[in-house]
Structure 1
Amino acid sequence: MTDDRWLLALDIDGTIIHEDGTLTDAVRDEVARVSGLGHEIMLATGRSVASTLPMLDQLSITPEYVVCSNGAITLKRDETAPLGYRREFVETFDPGPVLTKIRAHLAEASFAVEDEEGNFCYYGTFPVSAADLGSRAVPFEQLLAIEATRVVVISPDHDMEDFLSLVERMGLHKVSYAIGWTAWLDIAPDGVNKATGLERVRELLDVPRERIFAIGDGRNDVDMLTWAGEHGRGVAMGQAPDDVLAVASEVTASVHDDGLAVALRTFV
């Protein structure tokens, strides 16, 4: 990349779009403007491939790389691929031990496993937005045999504080995990997160650490914001939890006040 270009990594939910999926004109316009300046704008999300790619169309961007599934899958632009992107790097793990351990503590929870092809199998009840088209319900035991890029656990009966302390007491080892806004647990392969995926992309694009901008609002963004802020800019959305705000090098307005657009206006 040329000397003055930045690599900008954007989280999707709670950063680009509101909870109801709204994408404002202010955000869309700023993404277009900054992209037009020659900077590389990409996505770094916990979403699966299937639910990430439509966001590129909504923003009218075609980045070289896209980080999905909290860093477990990195896509590369490829015009010959069916959806314009191919899976370039995929990290997987055996979900059996962690699923068995969690179920012993959370018998009423719902569980899902995403494989390297993006198939989403679940046990229990999952919101339609979380379970992509093509997902299917399976017996719990079947989840244990899938080579996973991501495991999701939801336990609506728990309030956030109970859920946090319960997860802490479980002592989940040999995996990476992040807790969402609700009683929602995202589990990735050990040592894999948005930051590890983005560092790989940064090296491939030969962007200095000083010209990295990352922005997000969730606990699964902590590693990314810490990494970006060490030499560049790690920006937390205004509505982010305290533990996310604490690691950011900057804080912008909330998603309801177009915080992403506000942060992007600093690129001139």
Structure 2
Amino acid sequence: MSEALTDWVPRLVALDIDGTLLVPDPRGASVEEVTEPVRRAVLAAAASGAHVVLASGRAPLSMAGIADALGLTELVRDRTGERLHVVASNGSVVFRHAPMEVVEEVTFDATDAVRVVLGHVPGAAVAVEEHGIGYRVNRLFPEGELDGEMIVTELADMRLDAVSRVIIRDPDSTSEDFVHLAKQLGLQGTNYFIGWTAWLDLAPDGVSKASGLEWVCADLGLDRSDVLAIGDGRNDIEMLGWAGHGVAMGQAPEVVRSAADEVAPPVQDDGAAAVLGRWFA
């Protein structure tokens, strides 16, 4: 697809959030503000008729807030009378907004995987999503890292046998520590994604942003060749390789950039706006 972009126009634009639309602070957390050039570019794509789909590891509650803050929810509703498709929890959850309605959710039994990981990092915090509310956690996460309410719950009471996503966070480790740990453990039957910090997302096997977007494309009658995807993290690798044209942000790790068809300017330079401006005025 990258060799034939002259006549190609994306019909669906899949956008990661953190590090793509939002600029990360030095701790790795994102500043909850989209720059004006990026906001205008996203809205221009939606106004043109392209389906703009936010695709993130974030929970639905957080992603709905980002869509609202962008003005995307209102624009799509006013233009089409329809609701946004949003791919959340690294593809485990697809919902329409607003109002929020989960239309597809893949769950798995994370009990053994959590037990194995905690055997190596016993002091780590564990979180399980409570859609529309926040998270159940065995201990509090660092301030600002989770949206919504944190409900402190004993690990044995978290009902890990049917979850769409589990977060494991160890402030005393690094992302590279978790990369090494995940390779050591294998985690058979479980997919995993590693963030910028020591943050490990456990997900159902075979589930990724790409699988969530595949569901959206089927619902809309589109093909993966119609999709422009932009992202910057390890959890974007499947999506960038799956899409008709995958774009990695300039600050992305090499393993992410190598999975994409092209590399955009970094998020600090409004790279997503530069890419979107090629097709959408």
Q: TM-score, normalised by structure 2?
A: 0.86
**1:90 touches 1:116 (CA, 8 Å); kept in 2?**
no
Written as runs of structure 1 = structure 2, the 5 A alignment for 1:158-197 is 158-197=173-212
Indicate the residue corresponding to 2:257 in structure 1: 245
Moved over 6 A (4+): none
* Aligned with 1:29 (options 24, 40, 43): 40
Aligned position for 2:3: none
CA RMSD after TM alignment:
1.8
| AA matched with 2:230 | I
Opposite residue 121 of structure 2, the aligned amino acid is: L
Distance 1:86 1:110 in 2: 29
Q: 1:73-88 maps to which residues of 2 (within 5 A)?
A: 73-77=93-97, 83-88=98-103
Distance 1:162 1:119 in 2: 27
Of 53, 62, 70 in structure 2, the residue corresponding to residue 59 of structure 1 is 70
Q: CA deviation at 1:49?
A: 0.9
The structure 2 residue matched to 1:6, chosen from 6, 11, 28, is 11
Distance in structure 1 (CA, Å) of the matches to 2:153 and 2:190:
23
Deviation string 1:14-56 (CA, Å, 9 cap, x unpaired) is 1111122231000011112222221111101111111110111
Tell me the secondary structure at the aligned position of residue 137 of structure 2. strand
The reply to whether residue 68 of structure 1 matches residue 92 of structure 2 is no
Match of 2:21 in 1: 16
Distance between the aligned counterparts of 1:69 and 1:178, measured in 2? Answer: 10
Paired with 2:234 and 2:143, the residues of 1 have a C-alpha distance of 22
Deviation at 1:184, TM superposition (A): 0.8
Q: Is the 8 A contact 1:115 1:147 kept in 2?
A: no
Given residue 205 of structure 2, which amino acid in structure 1 is its aligned partner?
D
User: Which amino acid in 2 is paired with 1:48?
Assistant: A
Alignment of 1:133-212 (within 5 A): 133-145=148-160, 147-212=162-227
Tell me the secondary structure at the aligned position of residue 23 of structure 2.
coil
Residue pair 2:174, 2:197 contacting (<8 A) in 1 also? yes
- Is the 8 Å Cα contact of residues 121 and 135 (structure 1) preserved in structure 2? yes
Q: Which runs of 5+ in 2 are unaligned?
A: 1-7, 25-30, 74-82
Instruction: Please name the residue that 1:129 is paired with.
Output: 144
Equivalent of residue 229 in structure 2, options 187, 191, 214: 214
Q: Secondary structure at the match of 1:247?
A: coil
Structure 1: segments with no counterpart, 5+ residues: 78-82
Q: Which residue of structure 2 aligns with residue 80 of structure 1? A: none
